[in-house]
Amino acid sequence: MDIDLKTKDGQNKFIEESLSGLLEGINNSYGPILMDELNSRIKRTIEEFNAEMVAAFDELKNKENNRQKMYSMIKEGSIPPKESQIELDDSIWQKKIEEVESQK
């Protein structure tokens, strides 16, 4: 028996078949209530998991795209030299040191 887990109906059918055996020992008055609650919680958990996975893979794709862009920029030599950044950092720190010393 094939169940298509990509569709909502297939997922619901799989969940119901999997949980039906668990509820055989529970009496009829609580069985349907527990089954409904279990179904809603499992569906919510699956939806949250799927949303988290989509977000994680989107972030992974973005990082890979950025990495590829940086790699191609490095290959082309269009990255500004690090020395200019170091000089900028040095001048910022030098200004901070001068401010601290002038306050003494």
Q: How far is CA 3 from CA 10, 22, 25, 35, in A?
A: 5, 20, 26, 20
Delimit the domains of the chain by residue range.
8-102
Residue 24's SS3 state is coil
The C-alpha angle with vertex 69 and arms to 63 and 71, in degrees rounded to 5, equals 100
Do residues 19 and 39 make contact, with C-beta atoms less than 8 angstroms apart?
yes
Residue 56's SS3 state is helix
The C-alpha angle with vertex 55 and arms to 53 and 59, in degrees rounded to 5, equals 115
Would you give per-residue pLDDT tens digits along the chain (104 residues)?
A: 577 777 888 888 888 777 777 666 665 667 778 778 888 898 899 889 999 999 999 999 999 999 999 889 888 887 755 655 666 677 787 888 888 888 86
What pLDDT was estimated at residue 64?
96
